Amino acid sequence: MSDRDARFRRLRPDGDLFAHFGIELEAAASPAPASTPVSSATSCTHCRWYLHADQSSCPLCGHPVAARPGATP
């Protein structure tokens, strides 16, 4: 191995780059639970903004949401 190769190997980090540069990281917290998908979503009839089933008015334009079939009051 040449002297140049030895210098290159000494400068090249192996493995964990954070450990190589002396950076300490906190352990990540457990991931948040996945939200449940909305099964009866629709769009606003006025501006077409996506609405969730539990919204009574559009958060974008304020237009009231019409009663949906099968929705509980």
Written as one string, the DSSP assignment of 18-57 is HHHTT---PPPPPPPPPPPPPSS-EE-TTT--EE-TT-SB
Q: Output the pLDDT for position 65.
A: 83
Q: Output the pLDDT for position 63.
A: 92
From the first residue on, what is the mean pLDDT of each consecutive set of 10 residues in the chain (73 residues)? 66 68 77 64 86 87 76 51
3-state secondary structure (DSSP) of residue 69: coil
Q: Output the pLDDT for position 25.
A: 76
Whole-angstrom Cα distance, residue 42 to residue 60? 14
Q: Output the pLDDT for position 47.
A: 92
3-state secondary structure (DSSP) of residue 64: strand
Distances in Å between the alpha carbon of 72 and those of 6, 45, 56, 59, 69?
Answer: 73, 20, 12, 20, 9
